[in-house]
A and B are shown apart, each in its own frame.
Chain A
Amino acid sequence: MIEINNLSKTFKTADDTIEALKNVSLSIEDGDIFGIIGMSGAGKSTLVRCINMLERPSEGSVIMDGVDLGKLSDKELRAARREITMIFQGFNLLMQRNCLKNVCFPLELAGMSKPAARARALELLDTVGLKGKENAYPAQLSGGQQQRVAIARALATSPKVLLCDEATSALDPTTTNSILELIRDINEKLGITVIIITHQMSVVESICRHVAILDSGEVAEVGEVGEVFSHPKTPAAKKLVFPEGGSEAIAACEGQYFIRVVFNGAETTGKPLIASMAQQEGLVANIFYASTRSIGEKVYGSMLLSFESRDAAQKACVFLKDNDGVLAEEVNRQ
């Protein structure tokens, strides 16, 4: 379990001081997939860097399994970092080492013998689906493959926690999904706690169980993903859930019942989902806004639909959720 207690971080630059984090408290259970979402500059990267003490908190503490990470000596901290590894937006592979040696890197640091490290690295490359690529150099791989190497490397020291800082932000939606699937697999099979930093709703929706919304260095909301996203309370949460002024639209429409539909790689380009809902179920929806795009056969994005009755809205949710890669939930008006 990771407990973040009253964490603050202030950066002092030449001409001003920036409060990147203000009194952040979170607790993350073992085995959870915990999302931290927020706009650019909200302090997400700073928060994740405070968890493994790459950035020293100005105030507050990070406790992992009862150990206060801020109180460890340099040497103890280095050992602790083998238990909390990290993947990055830019992959950060060693470009002059091949895949196998990249995965061996943390094992070398830990002092493992070469043959043992090699064997472990080969096993991990297999786990992430890169069997046969051990002699390839990062420059010869696609972004998705590079991130897989980085994941294998992060798993090498059998960590308890995997930190992901915008790990899929440089990837296209299809690759993003395959990387997220891999992370979910790892979480299930190895029981590793995963902390996912992202600015993308779709990432949180597709794999996180809990989410914290970070807004200007403060935790605006925290809870189960379904709960937080279907009942956004704070302006920061509303802005994330309903981009393009959706929340004002909802407030203005008395007597309408809203549902939010998320497409996450749904194969609906071939069959017009909203039209068939009207035909088959007689559920006629108003499209309030739609921000979707198709990549290949798959659709990504979200829509806000409104109905005349609560009953229709609920039925539409059931109908839509029946499709792979589609999430639908009622929107509560506050």
Chain B
Amino acid sequence: MISGLFDPEKLAEAWEIIKSQFLLATWETLYVTLLATFFACVIGLPLGVLLVVGEKGGVLPLPKWIMQVLNVIINLLRSVPFLILMILVIPLTRAIIGTSIGTTASIVPLVISAFPFIARLAESSLREVSPNTIEMAQSMGASPFQIITKVLIPESVPSLISNLTIAVTTILGYTAMSGIIGGGGLGKIAINYGYYRYKYAVMFFAVVLLIVLVQIFQSLGTKIAVKSDKRLKNK
């Protein structure tokens, strides 16, 4: 496999494939990752808030059964491996998108597997806000809704950004995985050429691109998180 990588003839062939396909594949990967992250946040962030404020002694305690149902659903979805989840939600994907195969269709299982993850990440970010700070807001006459919008969320922005970065990079990995069963993008190229047709150079290049994308997202996210954090003095 390694020796094959450096065979000039194979390299030339791989280069042709790369030139003709990688721009579109990279775009597909980015588009699926970002859209899936967006929708997963739309569902996951409010759930994360509920997990924190709704518990006993929280800012807006909810009935115990609601919290239990919420926790069970999140834990359940989090424990199903992504590939299996993809297959399980095929009927749902068909109902929403019209087909279960293709780049756009892979967004549905990605969102379903990512929103519980994002809910947990948001939960842990919001829990970092000190109870003393919340008590301060209560002592000034803040309503539960004001505590959520003016204290809990704004005070945990840097941590939310860090955790969101973890979510994006993880979803990027899942996007690549979705190439195995019909998803598009870099994952599909890696599987199609590398696994089915033994063109390892192409697979290798796809993997390198994925690594580069993860690096870009991670360093961008870390930078923004640090920049947004007003607790750090030496900037």
A residues bordering B, Cβ < 8 Å?
52, 54, 77-82, 85-86, 88, 90, 92, 94-98, 105-106, 108-110, 137-140, 153, 157, 163
The reply on B227 being an interface residue by CB < 8 A is no
User: With the chains together, A265 CA to B139 CA distance in Å?
Assistant: 33
What are the residues of chain B within 8 A of A105 when measuring CB–CB?
A: 137, 140, 150
What are the residues of chain A within 8 A of B142 when measuring CB–CB?
A: 78, 109
Convert B138-168 into 0s and 1s, putting 1 for each residue whose CB lies closer than 8 angstroms to a CB of A. 1111110010001100110110000000000
Contact of B141 among A88, A95, A98, A106 (CB under 8 A): A106
Docked-complex contact A109 and B232, CB < 8 angstroms: no
Contact of A82 among B136, B138, B140, B154 (CB under 8 A): B140
B residues bordering A, Cβ < 8 Å?
130, 132-133, 135-143, 146, 150-151, 154-155, 157-158, 228-233
Chain A nearest CB: distance from B201 CB in Å?
Answer: 48
For this complex, 13 residue pairs linking A to B, each with C-beta atoms less than 8 Å apart, are A77-B141, A81-B139, A82-B140, A92-B132, A92-B133, A94-B155, A96-B228, A96-B230, A105-B137, A106-B140, A109-B141, A109-B150, A157-B141
Chain A nearest CB: distance from B117 CB in Å?
Answer: 25
User: With the chains together, A324 CA to B146 CA distance in Å?
Assistant: 47
User: With the chains together, A157 CA to B136 CA distance in Å?
Assistant: 14
Give the nearest-CB partner of A163 in chain B: B139
Docked-complex contact B136 and A86, CB < 8 angstroms: yes
Docked-complex contact B230 and A85, CB < 8 angstroms: no
What are the residues of chain A within 8 A of B150 when measuring CB–CB?
A: 105, 108-109
Query: Nearest 10 A-B pairs (CB), nearest first?
Result: A92-B136, A81-B141, A78-B141, A137-B230, A106-B140, A86-B139, A95-B231, A139-B231, A96-B230, A92-B132
Docked-complex contact B140 and A81, CB < 8 angstroms: yes
Give the nearest-CB partner of A150 in chain B: B136
What are the residues of chain B within 8 A of A95 when measuring CB–CB?
A: 155, 230-231
Give the nearest-CB partner of B139 in chain A: A86
Instruction: Specify which of A88, A96, A139, A163 lies most central, judged by the most chain B CB atoms within 10 Å of its CB.
Output: A96
What are the residues of chain A within 8 A of B135 when measuring CB–CB?
A: 54, 92
What are the residues of chain A within 8 A of B231 when measuring CB–CB?
A: 95-96, 137, 139
Instruction: Specify which of A95, A106, A153 lies most central, judged by the most chain B CB atoms within 10 Å of its CB.
Output: A95
User: With the chains together, A43 CA to B216 CA distance in Å?
Assistant: 53
Chain B nearest CB: distance from A11 CB in Å?
Answer: 12
Contact of B139 among A54, A94, A139 (CB under 8 A): A54
Chain A nearest CB: distance from B17 CB in Å?
Answer: 48
Docked-complex contact B141 and A82, CB < 8 angstroms: yes
Contact of B154 among A94, A106, A109 (CB under 8 A): A94
Give the nearest-CB partner of A141 in chain B: B233
User: With the chains together, A79 CA to B142 CA distance in Å?
Assistant: 9
Docked-complex contact A140 and B141, CB < 8 angstroms: no
Docked-complex contact B140 and A139, CB < 8 angstroms: no
User: With the chains together, A157 CA to B229 CA distance in Å?
Assistant: 28
Contact of A94 among B151, B232, B233 (CB under 8 A): B151
Chain A nearest CB: distance from B164 CB in Å?
Answer: 16
Q: A77-B141, A78-B143, A96-B228 known; 13 other A-B pairs, CB under 8 Å?
A: A52-B139, A54-B139, A78-B142, A81-B138, A90-B130, A95-B231, A96-B157, A105-B137, A105-B140, A106-B141, A109-B141, A109-B150, A138-B230
